[in-house]
Amino acid sequence: MPESKMRATLHQGHFCHFEFCWKCLASYNRIRADGNTAHTNDCPWHPNQLEVNGAPEPNEEIIDEDDDPYDI
């Protein structure tokens, strides 16, 4: 499955526009509706993990969204 090209985070998408967390595969529609509790319990973005470990470090690399070969 191709990854979307976007700002490099754990938030990924597909050319069909399904967005998900790259770590736990939680749907971003559910995350937007329910908050970070929609992530699996072992995902670094779940609130229980954030309390224990702090927020994960973001990837600083920026990917040009205009170069997405799967963009329709």
Q: What is the pTM of this model?
A: 0.54
Quick check: is 33 in a domain?
yes
Quick check: is 29 in a domain?
yes
Quick check: is 48 in a domain?
yes
Closest CA to 39 of 57, 51, 27, 53: 27
DSSP 59: P
Count of structural domains, the chain: 1
Per-residue confidence band for 1, with pLDDT thresholds at 50, 70 and 90: very low
What tokens were used for 68?
């997405």
Quick check: is 34 in a domain?
yes
Q: What pLDDT, in 10s, does the model give residues 45-56?
A: 899 887 777 766
Quick check: is 8 in a domain?
yes
Q: What pLDDT, in 10s, does the model give residues 8-40?
A: 445 555 566 778 898 899 999 999 999 999 999
Report d(CA 71, CA 17) in Å as an integer: 9
Q: What angle do CA 19, 56, 67 make, to 5 degrees?
A: 40
Domain of 35 in residue numbering reads as 1-56
